[in-house]
């Protein structure tokens, strides 16, 4: 039996972001939200472990009311119950404040064997939440995992680091962050979605999880975003013309030699 808590994030669908070419800023208005890709891998892995070993998968998220759909999606994938922390004071939270909030929910849930997170989120891409949570929960962390096994109160995980692959071992309770390669997240069926609607989903305020307002939002953060811009691409943009492929290739070879980048 394993008790797994999966932290998921509702992120901006970055593939839909356009750039305002005049003002050189990203346009996020109207961009749809979706469950961050790696978090789906985390949910999938949790559900697979539960299917194999028995136990419970608990989904946790922090966000606006709209993030309910992300919790529901994870429940449809096989989560057993879910929590959404939503509170006006959450706005502007960086990874420091966010980890304070997540720790609040996790403490409320009680003990766990494994906390699973995606290695990063598709929009912020900071890689921070997993390790920060591990520290605040006082458990070891195993990051960038692409293969995971749980046996006899231990996790054995394969992860990639700069110089190659590592197989590591840690005792539970433990926090694990997963990569995209770990699995192929399932697509819930219609029946899964219908069933998920009946699963417990609790909405919590900061007060419910005993997190102080000053630990969340901008006040609880250590970093503040002060600007966003999309710098223009400074490239030569030369399309090589020619009658034949050989002629074009010849011109390209010449250009590369002139640039001093080959030879």
Partner 1 sequence: MKNLKGEIWVYSEEKETTYELLGEGRKLAREMNVTLSAITVEGGETERHFGFGADKVYILKGLGEFEAETYAEAISIIAKEREPEIILIGSTKRGKELAPRLAAKLETGCATDCVKIYLEGEKKELIVERWIYGGNALAKEKFTKKPSIITIPPKTFEKPIYKERKGEKVEVAVRVSEPRVKVIETKKREVGEERLEDASVIISGGAGVKRKEDFKILRELANMLRGQIGCSRPIAVDYKWFPEWIGLSGHKVKPNVYIACGISGKIQHIAGIRGSKIIVAINKDPEAEIFKVADYGIVGDLYEVVPALINALKRRFRGKTRKFTENKPLNKTF
Chain residues 146-165 in contact with partner 1, contact rule CB under 8 A: 156, 160-165
- Position 197 contacts partner 1 (CB under 8 A): no
Instruction: Report angle CA 108, 48, 184 to the nearest 5 degrees.
Output: 115
Distances in whole angstroms, Cα of residue 51 to Cα of each of 45, 46, 54, 55: 10, 9, 6, 8
Cα separation, 153 vs 173, in Å, equals 8
Residue 54 or 231: the one with the smaller Cβ distance to partner 1 is: 231
Residue 53 or 256: the one with the smaller Cβ distance to partner 1 is: 256
The footprint of partner 1 on residues 71-130 (CB under 8 A) is: 94-96, 99, 120, 122-130
Instruction: Report angle CA 162, 168, 174 to the nearest 5 degrees.
Output: 110
- Position 226 contacts partner 1 (CB under 8 A): yes
In the complex, the smallest distance separating the C-beta of residue 222 from partner 1, rounded to whole angstroms, is: 2
- Position 261 contacts partner 1 (CB under 8 A): yes
In the complex, the smallest distance separating the C-beta of residue 31 from partner 1, rounded to whole angstroms, is: 9
- Position 134 contacts partner 1 (CB under 8 A): yes
In the complex, the smallest distance separating the C-beta of residue 185 from partner 1, rounded to whole angstroms, is: 12
Residue 176 or 204: the one with the smaller Cβ distance to partner 1 is: 176
Per-residue x/- track, 12-31, partner 1 (CB under 8 A):
x-xx-x-x-----xx-x---
**In contact, 96 and 102? CB cutoff 8 Å:** no
Instruction: Report angle CA 142, 148, 150 to the nearest 5 degrees.
Output: 95
- Position 186 contacts partner 1 (CB under 8 A): no
* DSSP per position, 181-222: GG--PPPPPHHHHHHHTTS-EEEE-TGGGT--GGGSTTTT-S
- Position 35 contacts partner 1 (CB under 8 A): no
């Amino acid at each position: 039996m394993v008790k797994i808590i999966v932290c998921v994030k509702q992120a901006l669908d970055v593939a839909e972001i356009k750039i305002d070419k005049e003002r050189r800023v990203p346009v996020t208005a109207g961009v749809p939200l979706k469950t961050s890709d790696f978090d789906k891998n985390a949910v999938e892995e949790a559900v697979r472990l539960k299917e194999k070993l028995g136990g419970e998968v608990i989904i946790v998220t922090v966000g606006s009311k709209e993030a309910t759909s992300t919790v529901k999606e994870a429940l449809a994938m096989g989560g057993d119950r879910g929590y959404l922390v939503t509170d006006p004071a959450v706005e502007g939270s960086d990874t420091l404040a966010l980890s304070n909030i997540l720790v609040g929910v996790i403490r409320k849930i009680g003990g766990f064997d494994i906390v699973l997170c995606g290695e990063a989120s598709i929009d912020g891409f900071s890689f921070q939440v997993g390790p920060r949570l591990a520290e605040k929960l006082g458990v070891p962390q195993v990051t960038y995992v692409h293969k995971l096994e749980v046996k006899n109160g231990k996790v054995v995980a394969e992860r990639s680091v700069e110089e190659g692959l590592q197989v590591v071992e840690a005792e539970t309770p433990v926090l694990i962050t997963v990569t995209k390669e770990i699995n192929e997240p399932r697509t819930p069926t219609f029946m899964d979605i219908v069933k998920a609607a009946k699963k417990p989903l609790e909405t919590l305020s900061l007060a419910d999880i005993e997190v102080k307002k000053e630990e969340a939002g901008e006040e609880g953060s250590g970093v503040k975003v002060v600007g966003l811009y999309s710098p223009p691409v400074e490239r030569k943009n030369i399309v090589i013309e020619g009658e034949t492929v050989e002629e074009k290739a010849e011109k390209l070879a010449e250009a590369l030699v002139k640039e001093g980048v080959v030879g």
